[in-house]
Amino acid sequence: MRITHLLAIITALAFAMTMNVSAAEPQKKKATVTKQQAKKSDVAAKKVLRSKRLARASYEGPSMGRLTGLHGTADELDLKSSVAFVVDQDTNEVLFRKNESAVLPIASITKLMTGIVISEANLPMDEVITLTNDDIRHASFSRLKAGTSMTRRDMLHLALMSSENRAAYALGRTYPAGIDEFVRLMNAKALALGMTNTHYVEPTGLSSDNRSTAQDLAKLVAFASQNATVSEFSTSHGYQLAVGKRTVQYVNTNRLTSNPNWDIEVQKTGYITAAGRCLVMQTKVAGRKLVMVFLDSMGKYSRLGDAERVKAWLETRPANAPHA
């Protein structure tokens, strides 16, 4: 009996252990499924976030000019820009004007001042600058990642030609006295140029608090046209750059720079929702050295179309015709 009892106990224990293992397996499987579901959920959430970012980047919402009614201003050329200003750089004769004193966000037109401050600081242009997470946080819409290294010259070239935001921010961040001093110098230079309605808060133009008028920007463009570095980099057609193991091709954001019908000495484009599409240039038209400013244009290519319309108008109008 004792042996039979002992066998019964052993059998019962073995059965219990089998049941425990069987019960544990579904729990383990269930835990694995939950982990996979969590991973899928995380991937899905990232895709949604990426989609939202892309939607914000492409969103064509109302600009400040539209919100304040500037687009209701008519002009004889039917320009799509709510602000336009064309002046002869040599004589200061105003040839075309439209809402030229309106204070508006200027987007990446900001980078002209960034380029001027950097070029006038006489910093070593061959010094290598490495992008940090700070640059990433402050500057979106960029092809450059944290850890990317290039010379100050290349950073400036990309900022002026391709409106590279992280390059522009890194230029300010690595200024010897820091980003705050860099922005202070941007504002001090604006005042020195007589840009009394201009204010900068950062070096990229992504902030809508960087504001100016077409009249002020005409002064900036005229001054920038005399800066050899800013002039060369801003009108460069394209540029290849080795980024890590890759070779990245950059092109000018202003396709007029590669148009043989245009002779452009300095230029800059800009866009954020609050500013609309912006364009400034110093160019030669009908034998005259002109500064053109177009702000708050609606439509991706409308600012270029406005420049073409003004150019054609100036080339066909009599020399003594009244100005618009």
State mean pLDDT over 300-309. 96
Domain residue ranges of the chain, discontinuous segments joined by +: 1-57, 64-316
**pLDDT for 120-172, tens place per residue?**
999 999 999 999 999 999 998 888 899 999 999 999 999 999 999 999 999 99
Angle between helix 152-161 and helix 228-235 axes, rounded to 10 deg: 60
**CATH homologous superfamily, domain 64-316:** DD-peptidase/beta-lactamase superfamily (3.40.710.10)
Return phi, psi of residue 98, to 5°: -160, 110
Q: Edge to edge, what strands does the sheet with 276-285 contain?
A: 94-98, 81-88, 288-297, 276-285, 264-272
317, 76 Cβ separation under 8 angstroms: no
- Specify the pTM: 0.80
Which residues make Cβ contacts (< 8 Å) with residue 229, sequence separation at least 6?
115, 119, 156
Q: Is 163 a residue of the active site?
A: yes
Q: Catalytic: which of 111, 219, 268, 311?
A: 111
Q: Catalytic: which of 63, 81, 82, 108?
A: 108
**pLDDT for 59-102, tens place per residue?**
457 999 999 999 999 999 999 999 999 999 999 999 999 999 99
Q: Catalytic: which of 81, 119, 162, 163?
A: 163
Which residues make Cβ contacts (< 8 Å) with residue 64, sequence separation at least 6?
104, 105, 208, 274, 275, 296
Q: Is 98 a residue of the active site?
A: no
292, 283 Cβ separation under 8 angstroms: yes
Q: Is 207 a residue of the active site?
A: no
